Amino acid sequence: MRCEVVAIGTELLLGQIVDSNSSWIGEQLALAGIDSLYQVKVGDNAQRMKSAITQALERSDAVICCGGLGPTQDDITREVIADIMGVELVRDEAIVDTIRAMFESRGREMSDNNKRQADIPVGAAMIKEMPGTAPGLLCPVGEKVIYAVPGVPYEMKEMMLGTILPDLQRRRGAAAVIRSRVLRTWGLSESGLAETLDARLQELDQLGNPTLAFQASGIEGIKVRVTAKTDDEATAFAMLDAEEALVRSLIGDHVFGVDGQTMEAVVLNALGQRGLTLATHESLTGGVLASRMTAADPDMVIFRGAAISPVNGEHVGEEGAISLAASTCEAFGTPAGVAAIAAEADENTPPGTVYLGLVLEDQQVGATVALPGDQRRSRDYAVISLLDLVRKTLMRL
C-alpha cells in the first residue's frame, strides 16, 4: 500500500509557511506501515494541481491532498478533485447548516463564501471529523482514493487519526509496521561514514530490509537512520536493535546518541552518573556552550558555569587550553573543566585551527581540530568538539 502527500498552497512554495503538515503525515503513515515514497508541493493553480494529483495517483494507491479547502477564490481543491473524478460538485445543505451553526456559536454571521465549503464531488463522502468550517473529503477514484484535508494542522490531524489512517489500514488488509531509529554520530564525514559502512550497505541492498540512510546535520553531526518494515512492532524493534548493534560495532565511539539525544544531554548524563560537575572557559565559544548546557541543565546541577573572557598571549596551543581548563576548575570548584583557543593564523597553521583542553580529575587531555566556516559556525563546531572530547574521555574511565 502506497500513499502520497500533495501539499497545496502557493504560500508553501514562497516559503511564507513551512510545510510541517507533510512531515507529520509522513511520520503517521510510517507508524501505520503505509509506504510513502513521494511528497509534493504545488501552488493554487488548477492545471498544476490536477497534474500533481494525477501523477500521484498513477504512482500510488492513495493520495492525501492537504490544503485548499477554505472559502476563498484560490481554495480550489474540491473543484480539481471533481475534475479528476469526472463528476460535478453538489452542494450539501446539511453541511451549510453545520458551518452556519459554527459561526453563530461564536456570535458571528456566516459569509456566503463559506457555502463553497459544502460543495462535494458526486460519489465522494465527507470525513466525519469536522473541527473547523472546512469539511474533509474521501473521494474514490476507481480502486484508488483521494483524501482531502484542510491545511490547518489541528483540523488535519483530527481527520488523519479519526478517519484516514483507519481507512488506509482497512484498504491495505495485511498488518505491517514501519519503525525507524536514528544513530547520531560525530567525528566522521558523510563520505567517511558511507565508506566505513559500505560492505553492510551492499548486504542490505540485497536483503531489502532493514535499510540504512545518512543525513548530514551540520553541527549536530551525521545521522544514520535505520528503518525496518515488519508484520509487528516487536519484530521491528528486534531488527532495529540488531542493526544498531552491528552499526556500532563498525563505527565505534563515533555514535554519541540515539534519536533525539543531543551531545550536551549525553555528556551531562555521563557526568551525572559519575557524580562529576563541569565548568568551562569561553573565549572562542563566547557563551554558546553555557547556553546549550544550561538549556539541558537549567538548575545547573552538573554544569556549574562559564568564565567568558579574552585569552592572553601566554595561553597558546593545547597546553594553553589545558591550563585555562584547569584554572576554570579552580574558579568553579569542579573536577572537570574545558576550554577552546583559536590558533593564531600563520603560514604553518591551517585556517580554523582550534586547540581544545580538558581537565578531568587527574587527567589532562588536549586536542587540535580544524573547524570550518565563519566565527559563528566555528564557535558551534568548537562547542560540539569540546563536548565530544569530554564524552570520549569519560568512556575511557
Torsions phi, psi for 238 (to 5 deg)? -65, -40
Question: Grid coordinates representing 55?
Answer: 501523477
Where does a domain end: 150, 172, 194?
172
Pairwise CA distance, residues 81 & 224, whole Å: 39
Angstrom distance (rounded) from CA 248 to CA 196? 11
Q: What ranges in the chain are assigned the alpha helix state H?
A: 10-13, 20-31, 46-59, 77-85, 93-105, 153-159, 165-172, 190-196, 198-207, 233-251, 263-273, 288-296, 317-332, 375-395
Please report the pLDDT score of residue 262 as a whole number.
94
Predicted local distance difference test score (pLDDT) of residue 270: 96
Q: Are residues 272 and 391 in the same domain?
A: yes
Residue 391: DSSP 8-state: H
Q: Whole-model pTM?
A: 0.71
The pLDDT value recorded for residue 175 is: 66
127 and 28 within one domain? yes
Q: Rounded to 5 degrees, what angle do the CA atoms 189, 192, 196 make? A: 140
For position 252, which CATH number holds? 3.30.70.2860
State how far the alpha carbon of 300 is from the alpha carbons of 257, 272, 304, 389, in Å.
Answer: 22, 12, 5, 20
Same domain, residue pair 161 and 85:
yes
Residue 18 and residue 72 in one domain: yes
Same domain? For 235 and 273 the reply is no
CATH number at residue 135: 3.40.980.10
Q: Which domain holds residue 160?
A: 3-172
In this structure, the answer to whether residues 8 and 156 fall within a common structural domain is yes
pLDDT at 185: 95
CA–CA gap between residue 67 and residue 323 (Å, rounded): 59
Q: For residue 174, what pLDDT is reported?
A: 67
pLDDT along the chain (397 residues), means of 10: 95 93 92 90 96 96 95 92 96 92 88 91 95 93 96 94 92 80 91 91 90 85 90 91 96 93 96 96 92 95 94 85 95 96 79 92 92 82 94 92
* Cα dist from 29 to 23, 165, 167, 359, whole Å: 10, 7, 12, 48
Residues 152 and 209 in one domain: no
Same domain, 120 and 250: no
My answer on whether 83 and 158 are in the same domain is: yes
Q: What pLDDT does 163 receive?
A: 95
Instruction: Classify strands 278-281 and 303-307 as parallel, antiparallel or unpaired.
Output: parallel
Residues 103 and 51 placed together within one structural domain of the fold: yes
Q: Are residues 312 and 378 in the same domain?
A: yes
Nearest to 167 by CA among 142, 135, 144: 144
